[in-house]
């Protein structure tokens, strides 16, 4: 990738300086060790709800909606035999003795987080290799431990695998991944953007800026994967990632602090424009009657400022009301006001606004099919903005006080109880700043 001389300062979620003078390339998902670890663990860590499997088998509630299949109940002491089952899973999942296979236990072993060895993914075409290995190993370990016969083994399989292969994906499975299956991706490179907002909210413990950093990391990595960060567009993506996702130069924090008590979406627009003028990112251009146009010699840096402003406006507005639903209209009208105020392009050259229009309709307008928390960057409604919309949605849902039909606790509790205990997922801002020091 290109070498960059321009630098940024990285700040924490509470406005404290983490690392100064960081060249832009050192936050790249292709370079920074912490972002690499996030991407690596996203692909090769799998949830196993061992306690859930025991309960599902005992009641016969298997597959989608936990439909109860009478006569197929199996009362197995899975938790009493947890250690033997875990050891067996590890033995089957690992490629070599002592490799990077690891199984973490949570909630007294009721939840497992299985880290599949890298060799399994290196020698596979897709990241499916992780969940299939773990689901098969879990099924086999339980069947083996309790000497399940051929007529009942399919019931154990249904608890672990869900509806697959009757369904295309593992619907209702108690073995799960952050990632959806490749067949559900909207196109090339969308896998890392196919993580529901509520998952990110729970993994970062409802911390808005840490959630933004995690979502932005996954979104930016996705943009790199789909070829949107080649040539001049690499700097475009990295600047947006830095200023919006990683609170570069403390911009998001400063904007929120200045407007948090009595501010509105409109006052965040004013603050952002003032900051851009002060930093000489934009300067007055021609006048048209009463209207003052602005010019910029660096449209990519201007875009990064507007991305940060869009996030700040979201935090100010949705934070004041403690409602997530306002995120789409905030993204729409903040950017509409930016264009009217400056005559310059809004975030992602209008794609943020376009995304917000469709998002308003599908999240809570006439259609009203779901709340913001169940959307992701792969969704047909929210996929269009290049990595800058979903982080704002994460911030809104982190600040939401329970107004959604689908709350983070309702859809993604297990993500907080497992992935949320791992530092790179829980505190990505801090870990990415530390990762800079590890780059040669």
Residues with a known catalytic role: 367
Q: Is 8 helix (H, G, I), strand (E, B) or coil?
A: strand
Half-sphere exposure of 132 (CA within 13 A, CB side): 11
Q: E strands within 183-268?
A: none
Distance separating alpha carbons of residues 137 and 125, to the nearest angstrom: 20
Helices (H) and strands (E) in the chain — how many of each? 18, 10
CA-closest candidate to residue 242, choices 111, 80, 387, 94: 387
Task: Report the candidate in 205, 204, 158 with the shortest Cα–Cα distance to residue 52.
Answer: 158
Q: Over the Cα atoms of the chain, what is R_g?
A: 23
φ, ψ (nearest 5 deg) of residue 322: 55, 35
Bridge partners (DSSP) listed for residue 113: 47, 104
Give the separation between CA 209 and CA 207, rounded to whole angstroms.
6
Burial 292-320 (b: 16+ CB within 10 A, else e): eebebeeeebbbbbbbbbbbbbbbbbbbb
Q: What is the chain's percent helix, strand, coil content, to nearest 5?
A: 55, 10, 35
């Amino acid at each position: 990738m290109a070498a960059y001389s321009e630098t940024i300062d990285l700040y924490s979620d509470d406005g404290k300086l983490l690392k100064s003078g960081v060249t832009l390339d050192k936050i790249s998902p292709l370079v920074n060790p912490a972002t690499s670890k996030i991407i690596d663990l996203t692909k090769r860590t799998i949830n196993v709800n061992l306690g859930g499997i025991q309960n599902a088998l005992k009641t016969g509630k298997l597959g989608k909606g936990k439909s109860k299949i009478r006569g197929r109940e199996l009362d197995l002491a899975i938790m009493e035999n947890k250690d033997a089952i875990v050891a067996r899973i590890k033995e089957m999942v690992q490629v070599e003795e002592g490799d990077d296979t690891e199984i973490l236990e949570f909630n007294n072993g009721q939840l497992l987080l299985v880290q599949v060895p890298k060799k399994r993914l290196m020698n596979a075409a897709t990241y499916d290799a992780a969940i299939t290995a773990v689901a098969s190993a879990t099924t086999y370990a339980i069947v083996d431990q309790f000497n399940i016969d051929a007529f009942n083994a399919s019931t154990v399989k249904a608890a672990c695998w869900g509806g697959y292969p009757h369904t295309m994906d593992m619907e209702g499975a108690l073995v799960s991944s952050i990632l959806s299956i490749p067949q559900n991706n909207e196109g090339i490179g969308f896998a890392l953007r196919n993580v529901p907002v509520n998952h990110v909210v729970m993994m970062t413990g409802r911390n808005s800026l840490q959630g933004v950093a995690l979502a932005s990391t996954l979104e930016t990595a996705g943009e790199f994967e789909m070829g949107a960060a080649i040539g001049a567009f690499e700097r475009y993506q990295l600047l947006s990632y830095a200023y919006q996702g990683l609170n570069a130069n403390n911009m998001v924090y400063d904007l929120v602090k200045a407007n948090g008590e009595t501010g509105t979406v409109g006052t965040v627009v004013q603050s952002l424009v003032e900051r851009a003028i002060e930093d000489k990112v934009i300067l007055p251009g021609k006048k048209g009657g009463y209207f003052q146009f602005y010019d910029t010699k660096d449209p990519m840096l201007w875009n990064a400022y507007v991305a940060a402003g869009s996030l700040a406006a979201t935090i100010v507005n949705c934070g004041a009301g403690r409602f997530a639903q306002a995120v789409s209209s905030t993204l729409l009208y903040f950017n509409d006001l930016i264009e009217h105020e400056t005559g310059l392009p809004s975030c992602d050259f209008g794609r943020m606004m376009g995304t917000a229009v469709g998002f308003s309709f599908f999240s809570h307008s006439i259609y009203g099919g779901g709340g913001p928390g169940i959307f992701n960057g792969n969704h047909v409604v929210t996929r269009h903005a290049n990595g800058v919309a979903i982080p704002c949605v994460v911030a809104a849902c982190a600040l939401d006080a329970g107004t959604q039909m689908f709350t983070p606790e309702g859809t993604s509790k297990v993500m907080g109880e497992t992935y949320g205990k791992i530092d790179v997922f829980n505190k990505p801002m801090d870990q990415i700043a530390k990762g800079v020091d590890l780059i040669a």
